[in-house]
Amino acid sequence: MQTANCFGKRLRRFALAWWLSSIAALAGASAIAAEAPAPEERSPPACALDVATVLRSLAALPGVEARFVEERHIVLLERPLQTSGVIYYAAPDLFARHTEAPSASVLVVEARQVRLIRGDDQETIPINVAPIVKPLLRGFLAVLQGDLDALGADYSLALQPDPDCVRWVLTLTPRAAPLQDAVARIVVEGQGALVAATELVERNGDRTRTVYTTVDPARTFTAAEKTTVFRLTPGAE
């Protein structure tokens, strides 16, 4: 039988992947580009895009679907581990990560547990097994709800747009342990209204970089789709 510590390590890995995919796709879907400056304006003002504006846009999203290719760079390995698939989000709190390669699996995050599904096998892990997961979940929910105060309680936030509000970088730095002990920073790189890439840097030197394509920031789901995509049982929502 696996120990609670083992479960905690696995849940931490799942949570990091979930958070990275989620914030990247959602932030990218809601980035705001400013109007182009007038031709006669020689010295355009700096971009006024800020974190609060991005979060307000996030809170209004009905759902997201995006393809991802993720490379996990582990210090002890010569080559990165590559994963690809699709992520789905339905407001206010349904999230699923469907991995297609190198092997098929579905990761579903719920209020009190994480479910990992491989074929006919399903593993359920309580969120409270690993302390690091709670601030990750709080942060994710704060992003979805557009709650700047709640997000700022766990992370220092820095948004760096270029002068034209076309390219931007959002950096989240954990404020306190235990999250601070595991995660150095989460970086979201965007251009225009889409994310180009994201990177999660861990304290041990490992890093995970993810590239997103075909982002649909207005995805809605029928009841039947929710049952299939999020692996819901009838009446569970």
User: How confident is the model over 153-169, as pLDDT tens digits?
Assistant: 889 999 998 888 877 88
> Is 203 or 39 the better-scoring residue by pLDDT?
203
Is the backbone of residue 85 left (phi > 0), alpha (psi -120 to 50) or beta? left
The mean pLDDT value for 175-182 works out to 91
The DSSP call for residue 218 is B
Distance CA(99)–CA(68), nearest Å, equals 9
pLDDT at 61 over 60: yes
Q: Does residue 225 sit within a domain? A: yes
pLDDT at 31 over 50: no
Range with the poorest average pLDDT among 99-108, 162-171, 213-222 = 162-171
Distance CA(210)–CA(71), nearest Å, equals 6
Helices (H), the chain: 4-30, 51-59, 133-145, 148-154, 179-182, 223-229
Confidence of residue 235 (pLDDT cuts 50, 70, 90): low
Distance CA(61)–CA(23), nearest Å, equals 13
Q: What are residue 69's phi and psi, to 5 degrees? A: -125, 120
Q: How many CB atoms lie within 10 A of CB 23?
A: 23
Distance CA(107)–CA(110), nearest Å, equals 10
Q: Does residue 78 sit within a domain? A: yes
pLDDT of residue 56: 75
Question: How far does CA 117 lie from the centroid of its chain?
Answer: 19
Q: Which domain holds residue 9?
A: 4-32+45-229
The mean pLDDT value for 99-124 works out to 89
Characterize 45-73 residue by residue with b for buried, 16 or more Cβ atoms within 10 angstroms of its Cβ, and e for exposed: eebebebeebbebbeebebbbbbbebbbb
CATH of the domain at 218: 2.50.20.10
Q: What percent of the chain has pLDDT over 70?
A: 74
Q: Does residue 98 sit within a domain? A: yes
The mean pLDDT value for 42-66 works out to 74
pLDDT at 91 over 60: yes
Q: Does residue 40 sit within a domain? A: no
Confidence of residue 82 (pLDDT cuts 50, 70, 90): very high
pLDDT of residue 38: 47
Distance CA(98)–CA(116), nearest Å, equals 10
pLDDT at 89 over 90: no
Number of domains in the chain: 1
Q: Does residue 235 sit within a domain? A: no
Confidence of residue 15 (pLDDT cuts 50, 70, 90): low
Characterize 186-204 residue by residue with b for buried, 16 or more Cβ atoms within 10 angstroms of its Cβ, and e for exposed: bbbbbeeebbbbbbbbbee
For residue 38, give every residue at least 6 positions away whose Cβ sits within 8 Å of its Cβ, in sequence order, or none: none
Q: Does residue 219 sit within a domain? A: yes
Distance CA(149)–CA(143), nearest Å, equals 10
Q: How many CB atoms lie within 10 A of CB 140?
A: 21
Confidence of residue 197 (pLDDT cuts 50, 70, 90): confident
pLDDT at 32 over 50: no
pLDDT at 29 over 50: no
The mean pLDDT value for 171-178 works out to 91
H or E, element range at 125: strand 121-126
Polymer length in residues for the chain: 237
Residue with tokens 């030197």: 205
> Is 174 or 132 the better-scoring residue by pLDDT?
174
Q: Which two tokens stand for residue 20?
A: 């990275």
pLDDT of residue 9: 60
> Is 42 or 117 the better-scoring residue by pLDDT?
117
pLDDT of residue 215: 84
